[in-house]
Amino acid sequence: MVRELHGSLEGSGLRVCVLASRWNTFVTEKLVEGAVRKLREAGVYEDDIEVAWVPGAFELPVAAKWAAETGAFDAVVCLGAVIRGETAHFEYVAGGAAQGIARVALDTGIPVAFGVLTCDTAAQAMARAGGKAGHKGEEAAATAIEMARLRQLLRDGHEASRSGGERAQGKGAR
């Protein structure tokens, strides 16, 4: 029978690091509020939530790497708001943050959620930080929990088969 796995949104016992950028704080404070609210609602314990601030979105990847490498967290949530200006700076900051965050997740195996808004205007950013277009902080927190749980399911299941389960002994082989 095909086994189907879904990471749950049950957060108790998970340790989560929330990283937020100080650029455009009027938006990122709202992203942090939503993320922390979502983590609490999911059952993550108060003492298992840590929030750390970085100067800008470009600094999120290296801070995520520091957090992931401690071994103290089951997931990291990166929050930021990059708002387009008149120069190409936007592309470098947003691109660097996105690629860097993806790389940290792949390099460390720790889920790192991408809650960085990349918008043309401040109004678009506010709409996505609890306004008409949803809440990317909440979404990123939920993603982090789901991925941390899925990681546990995938790793625990295969850990069991490696350490002497039926298939490892050849009994389940077709």
Q: Where are the alpha helices (DSSP H) in the chain?
A: 25-41, 60-70, 89-108, 122-127, 136-162
How far CA 107 is from CA of 21, 32, 69, 156, in Å, comes to 22, 25, 10, 20
Active site residue 89: yes
In the bound complex, what is the minimum distance in angstroms from residue 107's beta carbon to ligand INI?
A: 20
In the bound complex, what is the minimum distance in angstroms from residue 53's beta carbon to ligand INI?
A: 11
Number of other CB atoms surrounding residue 48 within 10 Å: 18
* DSSP annotation string for 150-169: HHHHHHHHHHHHHTT-TTTT
Q: Which of 23, 30, 75, 136 binds ligand INI (CB under 6 A)?
A: 23
Q: Which residue's CB is nearer to ligand INI, number 45 or number 53?
A: 53
Number of other CB atoms surrounding residue 161 within 10 Å: 13
Instruction: Determine if 82 is a binding residue for ligand INI (CB under 6 A).
Output: yes
Instruction: Determine if 59 is a binding residue for ligand INI (CB under 6 A).
Output: yes
Q: Which stretch binds ligand INI (CB under 6 A): 18-26, 68-76, 127-135, 138-146?
A: 18-26
What x-and-dash track marks residues 84-123 binding ligand INI by CB under 6 A?
Answer: -x---xx--x------------------------------
In the bound complex, what is the minimum distance in angstroms from residue 85's beta carbon to ligand INI?
A: 5
Strands 75-83 and 112-119: parallel
> Which tokens hold the place of 93?
């900051």
Q: Which stretch binds ligand INI (CB under 6 A): 64-72, 77-85, 127-135, 164-172?
A: 77-85
Instruction: Tell me if residue 50 falls in helix, strand or coil.
Output: strand
Residue 53: beta bridge partners? 20
Q: Which of 14, 24, 75, 149 binds ligand INI (CB under 6 A)?
A: 24
**What are the catalytic residues?**
89
Q: Which residues bind ligand INI (CB under 6 A)?
A: 21, 23-24, 55-59, 80-83, 85, 89-90, 93
